[in-house]
């Protein structure tokens, strides 16, 4: 065998199917969520008999399979019946009633949405949905700017189950009382996976993604450990991909422990929480907060401007609010003292967890 015998050719890859490591990939089997899926299924069951379903409120920390478990149920409905319309809407992307109704129209192939206002769009939605039953999933519902669309649907769509998904259990409390009193949802909590469950889920994804023999059981075990510590399966998926990329960069045919460790060391604050949540300016501000923990908001704004930060103070404040809402930072408002009221910004715990590896 020549010197290149153990090396990966320039046009070769270790990945059989890299898409399997995407965060929104829906694998064939979703282990460890049967119980939760059955609870949801029980709530939508009346729809099969042309009776109104029950509503569901799903909550749990990020990366514990909430979205994927519910998407799987929608897929099954799509495959088994024409009588129930499955709809999935991410309220991070569709955060107003107007956008939600436009999206429902789009998903149902209704094309004449131009020049229609929210009320007119809802009239269309009513016509499209009402002859049948529907399961409407609103993922990341805490990101919606307003929830009027829930009220309209609760009032005027007759046969439906509404499923709301969020990382924050308090979300339901923040709905206005018209919505709350009509929703009365069954509450389902998704708890974090155990280390063994994490490992099995990641092993399965690694098998979909890599050619046989590329990544060892030990490598997946190490990645599972890191992923479990943070409690988010996405960390594991990120590390699986990075470890493979590192091996490919060495033109190696196998992922070695060093590739995994390098990937873990690159797990910076962003790969952990952000994913696509933050825009460029928000990342800049977050970085600044990481570099200056426990800084007053006014001081932080000056630092931000010094680094070429864009926008007025109000915009900056809104970005700080968003960082807080997404739990990147803690905002402490301190009353009293020589300066009256001060607001101190601190980065969140996540960093500490990382240093525990
Ligand atoms: N039980 C599971 N089986 C297979 N993949 C899973 C499972 N739980 C989570 N995942 C994967 O982990 C990632 C995060 O899951 P997701 O459903 O997006 O989490 P959440 O919505 O709770 O934040 C997704 O890529 C998903 O496919
Ligand atoms: Mg989700």
Report the distance separating Cα 298 and Cα 303, nearest Å: 9
Q: For the domain bounded by 278-355, which CATH number is listed?
A: 1.10.10.10
pLDDT tens digit sequence for 330-355 = 888 887 666 677 889 988 755 444 44
User: Which residues share a beta bridge with 166?
Assistant: 59
Pocket of ligand 1 (CB under 6 A): 23, 25, 27, 30-33, 60, 62-68, 201, 233-234, 237
pLDDT digits (tens, 9 = 90+) for 18-75: 999 998 899 999 999 999 999 999 999 999 999 999 999 999 999 999 999 999 999 9
Q: What is the CATH number of domain 193-267?
A: 1.10.8.60
Mutate to test the pocket of ligand 1, among 30, 65, 204 (most ligand atoms within 8 A of CB): 65
Residue 96 has pLDDT above 70, yes or no: yes
What is the model's pLDDT at position 276?
55
Measured from the Cα of 68, ligand 1's closest atom is: 17
User: pLDDT, tens digit, for every residue of 82-94?
Assistant: 999 999 999 988 9
Best substitution site from 60, 68, 70 to test ligand 1's pocket, by max atoms within 8 Å of Cβ?
A: 68
For residue 73, how far is its CA from the centre of ligand 2 (angstroms)? 14
Report the Cα 282 to chain-centroid distance in Å: 18
Domain positions in the chain are 34-189, 193-267, 278-355
Indicate if the pLDDT at residue 251 is higher than 90.
Answer: yes
**What percent of the chain is modeled with pLDDT above 70?**
92
Average pLDDT of the segment spanning 5-27: 88
- Inter-CA distances, 356 with 77, 107, 230, 351, Å: 43, 45, 10, 9
Ligand 1 atom nearest 62 alpha carbon: 23
Same fold, 34-189 and 193-267: no
Q: Does the pLDDT at position 166 exceed 60?
A: yes
Question: Which CATH fold would you assign to the domain 34-189?
Answer: Rossmann fold (3.40.50)
Q: Which two structure tokens, joined as six digits, stand for 270? A: 């962003």
């Amino acid at each position: 065998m020549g010197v290149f015998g153990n090396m990966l050719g320039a046009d070769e890859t270790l990945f059989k199917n890299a898409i399997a490591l995407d965060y929104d990939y829906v694998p064939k089997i979703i282990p460890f969520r049967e119980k939760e899926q059955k609870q949801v299924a029980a709530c939508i069951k009346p729809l099969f008999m042309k009776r109104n379903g029950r509503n569901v409120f799903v909550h749990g920390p990020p990366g514990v399979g909430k979205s994927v478990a519910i998407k799987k149920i929608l897929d099954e409905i799509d495959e088994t019946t024409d009588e129930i319309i499955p709809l999935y809407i991410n309220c991070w992307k569709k955060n107003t009633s107007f956008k939600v109704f436009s999206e429902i129209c789009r998903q149902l192939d209704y094309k004449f949405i131009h020049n229609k206002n929210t009320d007119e769009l809802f009239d269309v939605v009513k016509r499209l949905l009402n002859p049948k039953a529907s399961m409407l999933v609103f993922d990341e519902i805490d990101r919606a700017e307003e929830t009027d669309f829930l009220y309209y649907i609760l009032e005027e769509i007759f046969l439906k189950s509404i499923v709301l998904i969020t990382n924050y259990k308090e979300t339901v409390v923040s709905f206005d009382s018209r919505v709350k009193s009509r929703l009365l949802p069954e509450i389902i909590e998704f708890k974090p996976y155990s280390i063994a469950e994490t490992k099995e889920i990641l092993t399965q994804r690694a098998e979909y993604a890599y050619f046989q023999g590329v990544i060892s059981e030990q490598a997946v075990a190490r990645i599972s450990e890191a992923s479990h510590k943070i409690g988010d399966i996405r960390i594991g998926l990120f590390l699986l991909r990075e470890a493979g990329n590192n091996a490919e960069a060495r033109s190696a045919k196998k992922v070695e422990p060093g590739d995994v460790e390098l990937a873990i060391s690159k797990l910076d604050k962003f790969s952990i929480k952000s994913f696509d949540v933050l825009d460029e300016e928000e990342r800049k501000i977050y970085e600044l907060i990481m570099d200056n923990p426990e800084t007053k908001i006014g001081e932080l704004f000056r630092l931000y401007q010094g680094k070429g930060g864009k926008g007025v103070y109000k915009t900056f404040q809104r970005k700080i609010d968003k960082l807080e809402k997404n739990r990147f930072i803690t905002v402490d408002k301190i009353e009293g003292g020589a300066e009256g009221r001060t607001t101190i910004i601190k980065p969140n715990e996540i960093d500490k967890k990382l240093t525990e590896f």
